[in-house]
Structure 1
C-alpha cells in the first residue's frame, strides 16, 4: 500500500457544499481505503491505496462523493512521491520561512493552453509586484509576500480559464500533508 493524497475542491467553504470530516472518513472506509487521515475540514485526505492510478482513484472518489452528497466534488489525487516532488520544486524557497505567503495551486492536468498564464506573467512584474507565480508541471506556485487576501494576482489567477480543475493549498497545509503521507 502506498500513500495517496486527495485534494477536494470547494467543500466546507463559506457554509457551502458541506462535507463533514466524520463523513469524509466514513465514506473513505466504505470505499475500502485504509489509514485514512483527514487534515482540516476543507478537503485534504491522506490514505493508503493499493497502487491504483491516481486519476482512476480521483474518478472513483468523485463518483462516490457525488452519489453520497448530491453535489459534485472535484478531486485531485497525488501520490506521496508526486507531493514530495512538488515540495522540492518550490521556486520560492525563501518564502517557505513565511509559509502563509506561499501557496500551491494543484491542477488536475498540465494545461494545454498556457497563453493566459503567459500573458499574466508578462504583466506580473509591473502590475502585481511583489506577488509572483510560476507554473511547474501540474502546480502553480504563488508567492504573495503581503498576504493572499489583498493580492490582485491571486484574484486574477483564480479567474483564469486553464481548461483544468484547480484547487489551492497554503504551504503549511502542503508540507503537513507530506508529513502525514510519510507516517
Structure 2
C-alpha cells in the first residue's frame, strides 16, 4: 500500500497564552489517530505525517484532527491539511519571493478551502505598495514590508476570510517543505 505524506497546519496554536499544546502531546494525538512518522516543526501547530493511501483525504484528516484536539486535549483549533505535492505547489507558486528581503515578513496564507481564492481576487488587483499581495493555487502570498502587524493587506484578507485561512512565514513554509520532501 502506498504512503501519502500530509502536512497539518493548526491555526492559533501556542500563540500567546491561548491554546497551549505541547508538541509531544500533539505528536501522540496524531499518532493515536493512526498516522505514522509524525513530526512537528517549531512550537506552533505544524505537523508532517504519513498515512496509508486511501485512508485519509485532506479534509477528512483535518476533521479527525480537529475533533481529537477537542476531545483529547481540550483545545479547539481550525486545521488545514495539505498533501506534500500541494505544499510543493505552494512553494512553486510564490511570485513574491524575489521581492521579499526578510522571510519573516513574507507570509503564506494557506486556504482551508481553495475556492476562497475567488474572494481574494479583488485584493490581488489592488496596489498595496510598499506591500504586495499575490494568489496561488492553494495560498495567498503577502509581502508585509513594514511588518505583519502593520500590514493593510493581511488585515484586509483576515476581514474577508477570518479563520478560513492560516498563515505561516516563508521560513516556516520552507522548513515544512523540506520535511515533507524527505524520505
**TM-score over 0.5 (shorter chain):** yes
Which residue among 107, 111, 127 is the counterpart of 1:107?
111
Shift of 1:37: 0.8
Q: Which residue does the alignment assign to 1:15?
A: 17
Give the RMSD, CA atoms, in angstroms: 2.0
CA contact (8 A) 1:58 1:77 kept: yes
Shift of 1:11: 1.1
Number of equivalent positions: 178
Shift of 1:159: 2.0
CA contact (8 A) 1:7 1:45 kept: yes
Which residue among 78, 84, 87 is the counterpart of 1:80?
84
1:168 aligns with 2:167: yes
**Structure 2 counterparts to residues 128-143 of structure 1, below 5 A:** 128-143=128-143
1:58 aligns with 2:49: no
Secondary structure of the corresponding residue to residue 114 of structure 2? coil
CA contact (8 A) 2:133 2:140 kept: yes
Unaligned runs of 5+ in 1: none
Deviates more, 1:93-102 or 1:80-89: 93-102
Alpha-carbon separation, structure 1, partners of 2:25 and 2:151: 34
CA contact (8 A) 1:59 1:75 kept: yes
TM-score by length of 2: 0.87
Shift of 1:135: 2.2
- 1:103-130 Cα distance to aligned partner (Å, 9 max, x none): 1101111235835x344445x31xx311
Secondary structure of the corresponding residue to residue 37 of structure 1? strand
TM-score by length of 1: 0.87
